[in-house]
Structure 1
Amino acid sequence: MAHKIGVIGDKYSVMPFKLFGFDVCYGMSARQIRDSIEQMAAEDYGVIFITEEASEQVSETINRYRSRIQPAIILIPSNAGSKGIGKKAVQKNVEKAIGQNIL
């Protein structure tokens, strides 16, 4: 069974993902972002990409899903550039998996 992929963030950052067939939710208020995550999780999305800016508004919601296998919530930079939050999360997960930071 193939799982769907969703993308959440501001319109200009996530619109290009529609070209790849991903489901896109534009949301800039914390409530819109939280509701989009909850809806995608309930609909068995395998991966949810969310811009770093959007993730900062709903960190408690994202943290609830960190221990679950699905959906995987991946932070991505917005069209304004990276804040380094996503990279730090990847480094942390790599270090946890292999015991040291190789990035």
Structure 2
Amino acid sequence: MYKIAVLGDYDSIYGFATLGLSICPVQSREEAKDKLKQLAEGKYGVIYITEAIAAQLTDVIEMYKERTLPAIIQIPGVSGNTGAGVEGVKKTVEQAVGSDILFSQE
């Protein structure tokens, strides 16, 4: 069975521990890079990552995009939302269904 991890600054991710998810607080790019690689090569099927950390690790995340597992999903952190997480999900759904799910015709 695969596990779920959350990677980011402590203030943004500590609440996920109450849901039973593995939290991985990081403070630097290098620490985040090492932890992401460790999680991706481990038994983690889903890795949530704060948008701020993901912005620093685009090259590493790109390495895992073509793989089935793990799914690396961006989430907003406490320091604000850049919209990158929503945009990523939107693009994935557009590819899957062939349509923009947020576009409404009125």
In structure 2, how many angstroms separate the alpha carbons of the residues matched to 1:7 and 1:59? 17
CA offset at residue 54 of structure 1?
0.5
Q: Residue 46 of structure 2 aligns with which residue? A: 47
Name the SS for the 1:47 alignment partner. Answer: strand
Residues 77-98 of structure 1: per-residue CA shift (max 9 Å, x gap): 0012311000000111111111
Where in structure 2 are there 5+ consecutive unaligned residues?
none
Name the SS for the 2:81 alignment partner. Answer: coil
Whichever residue aligns with residue 25 of structure 1, its letter is C
Q: Which runs of 4+ in 1 moved over 3 A?
A: none
Q: Residue 85 of structure 1 aligns with which residue? A: 84
Residues 6-33 of structure 1: per-residue CA shift (max 9 Å, x gap): 0000010000011111111111311111
Residues 8-67 of structure 1: per-residue CA shift (max 9 Å, x gap): 000100000111111111113111111111111121201000000000000010111111
In structure 2, how many angstroms separate the alpha carbons of the residues matched to 1:73 and 1:28? 19
Greater radius of gyration (CA): 2
Q: TM-score, normalised by structure 1?
A: 0.94
What is the total number of aligned residue pairs between the two structures?
102
In structure 1, how many angstroms separate the alpha carbons of the residues matched to 2:41 and 2:92? 25
Q: TM-score, normalised by structure 2?
A: 0.91
Whichever residue aligns with residue 8 of structure 1, its letter is L
In structure 2, how many angstroms separate the alpha carbons of the residues matched to 1:38 and 1:46? 13
Q: Sequence identity of aligned pairs in percent?
A: 40
C-alpha RMSD of matched pairs (Å):
0.9
In structure 1, how many angstroms separate the alpha carbons of the residues matched to 2:95 and 2:13? 29
Whether 1:101 and 2:89 are equivalent positions in the alignment is no
In structure 2, how many angstroms separate the alpha carbons of the residues matched to 1:11 and 1:34? 16
Whether 1:68 and 2:67 are equivalent positions in the alignment is yes
